[in-house]
Amino acid sequence: MPHSKLQPGVVIDGFTVGDCVHSGGMATLWSVTRPDIDRPILMKVPRVSEGEDPAAIVSFEMEQMILPKLSGPHVPACFGTGDFATQAYVVIEQIPGETLYKRLPELPLPYEEARSLVARIATALADLHRQHVIHHDIKPSSIMFRPTGEAVLIDYGLSCHKHLPDLLQEEFRLPYGTAPYMAPERMMGTRSDPRSDLFSLGVLLYFFTTGVRPFGETETLRGMRRRLWRDPYPPRQLKPDYPPWLQEIVLRCLEIEPVWRYPTAAQLAFDLGHPDQVKLTARSEKVKRDPITTVWRRRFNRGLVQPEQKSDVALQIASSPIVAVAIDTSEGGEELNGALRVTAQRILATLPAARLACVNVLKLGRLTIDRTLDEEGNNKHIDRMVALKHWATPLKLDASRLTVHVLEAVDPAAAIIEFAEVNQVDHIIIGARRDSVLRSLLGSVSAKVAAEAGCTVTVVRTRHATREADDEDDDVPAKVVSGG
């Protein structure tokens, strides 16, 4: 394996090397240019001299394999890789700005700022997991933000991809990662569970809201193994004003057993986006760590945290979707709402980890002055939230799986589509209404949602729909499933 002899002016595979912008323990970063690329790019080159850690070389190989397969706003674009036989490198987009590590002197951050920050990171993680990748090194120095606000995850040397060999798992027995952020199951050799990234994100959220890392700075393997049985101090013990909803989220992310954490990053992002609807449990009230009897029982009777075979990340995500059902709370829609409930029940019956968001749109007038109270003096918004909860009652869902949302918009279809996009909804269930001349002229809400939503859409009709309903929805049949 040849030594790297990079210097300004050298041309490698069409890339002209500029200045060295960073020199780290495992790699160096060089600014490079290529005539056909009109944005700032960097060449990452591993340290391959005698005596370097072999794991660092394997880690770089993993990054070379994974980065070209990723796309979207939450990852750096990749423009090329080089073979170890000549010159090993990976060329990536240069994200402007600094990593989140630069904000450590500001900690703790205000709760609302930290919530918004971590919600964007959770959204980025959800996108990464959908691309079959588990990051395994979520920490402040691995996170950047685009000028447009999206979180960008960098450094994929410790990651694993469902469709690629996991070289770190195959060649090394010790777990690799950043000790304070490493999930308990990683101590047992498990690298195939995307909920490990949620644990790391929980550590980050704890740290950014309290100024203290939940498990300290322990770097020894023995010290890290303690988190297999020892829970952290509840944030409310450190900060009495800590919001109960935030502690609920943090401690759920930091559960020792992966099964008790959020099933997906998208569901975590959903709760961070709707803190007023977070279901509070005993976690939110804790002011002390678990009693020593519980700790000892975990230590000598560990049942769930065991090494496991490589799992299917996509299957786990598919089994834990966010489903949104659009409900019309006005009078005369009982039959259609009943059909929507039956459809939702059938879908949820096969997906025990799914979340259901019940949505209603309070339509605003384009030219009129909208009032929050109806003719009887009742608050329209609250009345509709109560109606949504009443609609969902027969489903008998656990409160942690159900939220209700009343949106205010001039265009109901656009509001539903935007809600689905912002909240990473996987499936929309919506009813097709009938007997409206205006709807037949302008196009129905259900038809627009089915045509434009970026997710699966199921359109439900009642059996007694008339021919007029068929006309209003053009060619939309009784049930439409469209993949976005």
pLDDT for the residue 406? 93
The residue among 468 and 339 whose pLDDT is bigger is: 339
- Count of structural domains, the chain: 3
Classify residue 373 by its DSSP letter: B
Q: What is the mean pLDDT of the chain?
A: 86
Question: Do residues 78 and 105 share a domain?
Answer: no
pLDDT for the residue 51? 55
The answer for residues whose C-beta is within 8 angstroms of residue 442's C-beta and 6 or more apart is: none
Percentage of residues in the chain having pLDDT higher than 90: 63
Of 142, 74, 115, nearest in space to 269 by CA: 115
What band does 353 get if pLDDT is binned at 50, 70 and 90? very high
C-beta of residue 171 within 8 angstroms of C-beta of residue 150: no
Question: Do residues 106 and 226 share a domain?
Answer: yes
CA distance readout (Å), 101 to 30, 128, 143, 282, 379 = 21, 21, 8, 32, 45
Over the stretch 71-121, which tens digit does the pLDDT of each residue have?
999 999 999 999 888 899 999 999 999 999 999 999 999 999 999 999 999
CA distance 46 to 388: 56
What band does 298 get if pLDDT is binned at 50, 70 and 90? confident
Assess if residue 1 is contained within a domain.
no
CA distance 352 to 318: 11
| Domain span at 18 | 11-93
We report the CATH number of the domain holding residue 55 as: 3.30.200.20
C-beta of residue 101 within 8 angstroms of C-beta of residue 51: no
Assess if residue 355 is contained within a domain.
yes
C-beta of residue 385 within 8 angstroms of C-beta of residue 353: no
- Domain boundary (313, 346, 367) is at 313
Question: Do residues 69 and 161 share a domain?
Answer: no
Assess if residue 5 is contained within a domain.
no
Question: Do residues 85 and 110 share a domain?
Answer: no
This prediction has a pTM of: 0.89
Over the stretch 124-168, which tens digit does the pLDDT of each residue have?
999 999 999 999 999 999 999 999 999 999 999 999 998 888 887
Question: Do residues 291 and 196 share a domain?
Answer: yes
C-beta of residue 53 within 8 angstroms of C-beta of residue 91: no
The residue among 217 and 228 whose pLDDT is bigger is: 228
CA distance readout (Å), 386 to 186, 293, 359, 389 = 44, 43, 12, 5
- Domain boundary (313, 341, 375) is at 313
Beta bridge partners of 481: 458
C-beta of residue 322 within 8 angstroms of C-beta of residue 453: no
